[in-house]
Amino acid sequence: MFAELRPPKFLAELGPKLPQRPWSDALCASLEVARLTKQLDADFSFLEGRTLRIFIEDLGARATLRYVNGHFRPAAADIEADVSFRASTENYLKLLRRTEDPDTLFFQRKLRIEGDTELGLHLKNLLDSIEPPAWFSKLVA
Amino acid sequence: MPPSIMRKPELVCPAGSLPALKMAVDNGADTVYLGLKDATNARNFAGLNFDQNSASEGIRYAQSRGRQVLMAINTYAQAGEEKRWHQAVDMAAGLGVDAVIMADPGLLDYASKTHPQLRRHLSVQGSATNYEAINLYRDLFGISRAVLPRVLTLSQVEHVIAHTDVEIEVFGFGSLCVMVEGRCLLSSYATGESPNTAGVCSPAKAVRWVETPQGTEARLSGILIDQYGQDEPAGYPTLCKGRFEVNDETYYALEEPTSLNVLAALPELLRIGVAAIKVEGRQRSPAYVAEVTRTLRAAIDAAHVDPARFAPKPAWDAALGKVSEGQHVTLGAYLRPWK
């Protein structure tokens, strides 16, 4: 569905000037729906009270979320995050499709982590341990 | 030796999660190795590894398809906490793994006395590099297999195999470290934890990457160990792979991030009779496990069918090169001319 998604270059410049809240809202909503429908059945309690930020560099987008009382909630785009990830749309999709290993992207500098490395690694390992439902694999294929 | 009677080594692949284990099995691993979620194994990272339920499911998945599962309990029991390591051995026996991989002589003794029927492999962390040491472990603890540290040449591996009835497993692919496996304390020097003690080299809690105008700094417990320019490749944040200033020159003073790739030496490894070829990387994701397992499966099968005419296919080297740490792949110690 998103096989060749390469956003136009101007977005990287324009994106950061746009409101960031919709990205955070969309990501939180997706995560919460996935959990409600038992598609993301995992123990996220290690994230309690922590703030994560996902930079999508070629869209100039950043989603910020906080895990509070067992739920993902959107957070302000300007607060300091405990850990942040940076990659392009293309590389995030490779990770979602599980066609690329995050360490490989890290070695190639296509995925960057800043902040609490252990928190980031824990999240990565947790996501690796979940088997993606078939509909999801189709969606990102 | 004609290929038909030449022993085909087992392909032993890593699993840090259930999806990774399934990838290994589905892509042709004969054997998968895994560890529990604690300091009893040398890849003790947050969120990685197996609990009793996932291990049980993984073992069922592999064994029902005719594959084997090994459990690495390959760190050294820390003083006052021996019970935790003993419980891991008991759990391995209860789960029905095909063997345990261990390094600590005290634990090997416990396992051989408490669960004599449980097969025991000597871990690379045991750092046994000669047949006298391996035979001693066999006589004392009844080990069936030893994993050799990545320090021996092919002719030295051959010499070991010729002088022991213990099966010999060697590394075939993965990130290389400074080749003092089982004896390295560099990580403890900066972080207080190292593989043998806490099951982890450069624990993530001690690692920080900081983006600066000059590039990305890699810091370990605050110590700057490397700085990468914008598009310069990165390695794991370990002291041994850092760049340091020595006599006004900044360079890889210990070693450059490099990966081992033994494809070119497969016919030799088969000829000398290695029992198993191991892939490094329980910390890696299912995508890595799938790619590397698939590639080594094809290569080992091809080398076994026709060793004389075997040559690594460019596609295999490309697949392994892509997931490698560092810009270089090497045959490591296997083909070094000096001894």
pLDDT digits (tens, 9 = 90+) for B87-107: 999 999 999 999 999 999 999
Option in A101, A102, A107 nearest B234 (CB) = A107
A3 inside domain: no
pLDDT tens track for B5-26: 688 999 999 999 999 999 999 9
Q: Which domains does chain B have, with CATH numbers?
A: 3-176+258-335 (3.20.20.330), 186-252 (no CATH)
**B105 Cβ contact list (under 8 Å, min separation 6):** B137, B140, B141
Pair of tokens at residue A78: 């300007």
Contact A101 B284 (CB under 8 A): yes
| Total of domains in chain A | 1
Q: Give the CATH number of the domain where residue A72 resides.
A: 3.30.1050.10
A116 inside domain: yes
Q: Which residue is closest to B210 within chain A, CA to CA?
A: A114
Pair of tokens at residue B320: 């392994």
pLDDT bracket for residue B55 (50, 70, 90):
very high
Q: Which of B271, B97, B106, B254 is nearest to B190 (CA)?
A: B254
Contact A121 B235 (CB under 8 A): no
Answer whether B164's CB lies under 8 Å from B139's CB: no
A96 inside domain: yes
Domain that holds residue A133: 10-140
A15 inside domain: yes
A58 inside domain: yes
Write down the pLDDT at residue B98: 98
Answer whether B313's CB lies under 8 Å from B320's CB: no
A contacts of B209 (beta carbons < 8 Å): 112-114, 117
Name the pTM for this structure.
Answer: 0.92
A5-14, A126-135, B147-156: least confidently modelled range: A5-14
CB of B230 less than 8 A from some CB of A: yes
A21 inside domain: yes
A42 inside domain: yes
A117 inside domain: yes
